């Protein structure tokens, strides 16, 4: 019965998300399904001593993630909003796209998203900032617009999000449990990132070519966004805040560990204000919208982390984790499977890491696994099944920003953000074993 609840709850979460249900509703309801089939008490007052209840387990997961990562989400969203409002994000995107040309429109979108996310701009903000240019470029090249979410997702949530040196939290969460740095396993990380870029870009271009050959073309919509028409800041001054974020995170990570991300993002905000202060028409509004965006983003993540925490309290989950950590072969395989599966259950890379690592890190570190290898494999693995249809970023990018449906857009999105990272984590494991 507990297995039925665990996998049935995940199926319900995916189904509700595909139907457009808000994650703040879908998460608790799916977790309740899990709790009922595992005979879990509803209220803590009804649970026996030492036994988890649905309400306490869900809220423990929700609030724990909120308290650990709120400032990172807040500063990241504000930084991204400021970069967007002053035109810096668009300046970077236009510069890159102008260099690659319309014939490589999709790759230009991938590259623009990659630079912005690696520099610390929130995935959600990047999607909002790059989408207008993506529409314009796809229209110029007469490419089917249903592939825009896939291009943005591949550039934002795969090789940059989980690579060494990235200031996205998926690269920083393992530090808390493994005592590593954000540059852990950088050599293997660089090789994996290059392979993922090449593989994903070739695959995306092939899918576009096949779609065009089948008669698909760009369809104009009345509500299509228009890129900013006023003069934009230069590429150099636009890129400077991203470089500052990366530099500060590098200088501070040794003594501040994951808290260095707060300092780095704050430095990026200050740099953006100093370099572009004359370009803000509503500075207070930018801060307010960034704060609201941060709350929405972290609330959606907390909602699925809460689901994962309820799932973690069930007998079925304990059995699944025990099976994963007992897999034959390299311990890195078991770690990758565990992180990937839990990220898939929660629909969140960061949520999956926050749940999985406290469970598996002591086991693997105690058996002598290289912490740097475990950090990099876990980080890359978190970026695979997290991009299932119920992921908050997937829903936002496909439906809210791009105005597409999962039926039309998710096939390409899933291939690039699920299959490619899975191949990436397999390559990472092989390299760590051989090198």
What is the residue-level pLDDT of the chain in tens, covering all 435 positions? Answer: 898 998 899 889 878 877 778 788 988 999 999 999 988 998 888 777 778 899 999 999 899 888 887 888 788 778 878 887 888 877 887 787 778 776 788 888 898 888 878 877 777 767 777 787 788 778 878 899 999 999 999 998 899 888 998 888 889 889 989 989 999 999 999 999 999 999 999 999 999 999 999 999 988 887 665 655 567 888 899 889 888 888 887 788 777 776 787 888 899 899 999 999 888 877 888 888 888 877 877 887 788 778 888 988 888 887 877 777 677 777 888 888 888 888 887 677 887 788 788 888 888 888 888 999 999 999 999 988 888 887 778 877 887 778 888 888 999 999 999 999 999 999 999 999 988
| Cα–Cα distance, 97 to 383 (Å, whole number) | 26
The CA-atom distances, in angstroms, between 99 and each of 85, 90, 121, 153, 303 are 23, 14, 22, 21, 41
Burial of 291 (0-12, 13-18, 19+ CB in 10 A): middle
* Residue 267 token pair: 């430095």
Tokens standing for 317? 């989950």
Q: Cα dist. 410→19, 389, 405, 422 in Å? A: 14, 7, 8, 17
Angstrom CA distances, 236 to 92, 232, 310, stand at 9, 11, 47
pLDDT value at residue 286: 80
Q: Please state, in angstroms and as integers, the Cα–Cα distance from residue 398 to each residue in 131, 286, 389, following that order.
A: 11, 24, 10
Q: How many domains does the chain have?
A: 1
Give the predicted TM-score (pTM) of the model: 0.76
At 201 the pLDDT is 93
Within a domain: 226 = no
* Torsion angle in degrees (nearest 10) through CA of 183, 189, 194, 195: -170
Structural domain contains residue 164: yes
Q: Is 10 inside a domain boundary?
A: yes
Give dist(CA 333, CA 428) in Å, integer. 10
The verdict on residue 222 lying in a domain is no
CA dist 170 to 32, 71, 163, 340, 381, Å?
27, 15, 9, 13, 10
Contact yes or no for 304/27 (Cβ under 8 A): yes
Query: In angstroms, how far is CA 297 from the centroid of its own chain?
Result: 11
Tell me if 221 is assigned to some domain.
no
| Residue 87 within any structural domain of the chain | yes
Q: Per the domain annotation, does 383 fall within a domain? A: yes
How many whole angstroms separate alpha carbon 233 and alpha carbon 251? 27
Residue 344 counted as domain residue: yes
pLDDT of residue 102: 66
For 161, the token pair is 């999000």
CA 265 to chain centre: 17
Range of the domain at 100: 2-43+52-216+231-434
């Amino acid at each position: 019965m507990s297995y039925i609840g665990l996998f049935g709850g995940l199926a319900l979460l995916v189904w509700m998300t595909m139907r457009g249900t808000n994650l703040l509703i879908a998460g608790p309801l799916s977790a309740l399904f899990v709790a009922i089939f595992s005979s879990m008490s509803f209220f803590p007052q009804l649970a026996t001593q030492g036994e988890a209840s649905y309400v306490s387990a869900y809220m423990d997961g929700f609030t724990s993630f909120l308290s650990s990562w709120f400032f990172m989400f807040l500063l990241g969203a504000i930084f991204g909003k400021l970069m967007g409002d002053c035109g810096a994000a668009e300046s970077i995107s236009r510069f890159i796209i102008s260099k690659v040309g319309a014939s490589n429109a999709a790759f230009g979108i991938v590259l623009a998203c990659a630079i912005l996310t690696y520099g610390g701009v929130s995935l959600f903000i990047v999607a909002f900032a790059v989408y207008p240019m993506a529409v314009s470029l796809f229209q110029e090249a007469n490419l089917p617009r249903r592939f825009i979410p896939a291009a943005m997702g591949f550039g934002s949530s795969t090789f940059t999000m989980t690579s060494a040196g990235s200031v996205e939290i998926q690269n920083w969460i393992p530090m808390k449990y493994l005592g590593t740095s954000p540059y852990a396993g950088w050599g293997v990380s660089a090789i994996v990132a290059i392979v993922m870029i090449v593989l994903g870009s070739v695959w995306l271009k092939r899918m576009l070519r096949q779609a065009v050959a089948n008669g698909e073309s760009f369809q104009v919509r009345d509500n299509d966004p228009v890129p900013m028409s006023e003069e934009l800041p230069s590429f150099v001054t636009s890129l400077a805040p991203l470089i500052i974020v990366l530099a500060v995170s590098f200088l501070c990570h040794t003594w501040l560990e994951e808290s260095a991300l707060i300092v780095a993002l704050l430095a990026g905000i200050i740099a953006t204000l100093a370099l572009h202060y004359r370009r803000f028409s509503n500075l207070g509004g930018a801060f307010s919208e960034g704060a609201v965006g941060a709350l929405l983003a972290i609330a959606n993540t907390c909602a699925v982390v809460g689901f994962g925490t309820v799932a973690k309290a069930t007998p079925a989950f304990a059995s699944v984790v025990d099976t994963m950590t007992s897999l034959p072969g390299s311990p890195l395989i078991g770690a990758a499977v565990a992180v990937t599966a839990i990220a898939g259950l929660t629909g969140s890379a960061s949520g999956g890491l926050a749940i999985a690592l406290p469970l598996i890190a002591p086991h693997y570190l105690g058996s002598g696994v290289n912490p740097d290898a475990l950090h990099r494999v876990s980080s890359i693995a978190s970026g695979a099944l997290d991009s299932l249809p119920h992921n908050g970023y997937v829903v936002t990018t496909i439906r809210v920003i791009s105005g597409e449906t999962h039926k039309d857009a998710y096939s390409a999105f899933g291939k690039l953000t699920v299959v490619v990272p899975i191949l990436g984590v397999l390559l990472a494991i092989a390299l760590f074993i051989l090198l």
